[in-house]
Amino acid sequence: MTTKSSANPKLDPQPPSNTEKDPDEWVSGDDPMTGAQASYLKTLAEEAREPHAFSEHLTKAEASKRIDVLRAKLKLYDGPPHPA
């Protein structure tokens, strides 16, 4: 017999997620942005006509926040952006 307290967490329709952590809390957030981030951010900045949004000297966390803001501006997803 299974009780609610011993239910399988894999079957939880809304399991807690560690993939939605705030970039400011990332352990590697102060590392330089990745090549993939740089490429994507540059593309988004060009599409949004905001070339100043791209800088080669961003951290992973800064790049992630700018990507989220530009994606929201371009309406590429429904979630709220990180405050810039």
pTM (two decimals): 0.66
Strand partners, 35: none
> pLDDT tens digit string along 6-48?
566 566 666 555 556 888 888 888 899 999 999 999 999 999 9
Buried b (16+ CB within 10 A) or exposed e, 30-57: eeebeeebbebbeebbeeeeeeebbeee
> pLDDT tens digit string along 47-75?
999 999 999 999 999 999 999 999 999 98
Strand partners, 32: 59
**Nearest alpha carbon to residue 26 among 50, 62, 54:** 62
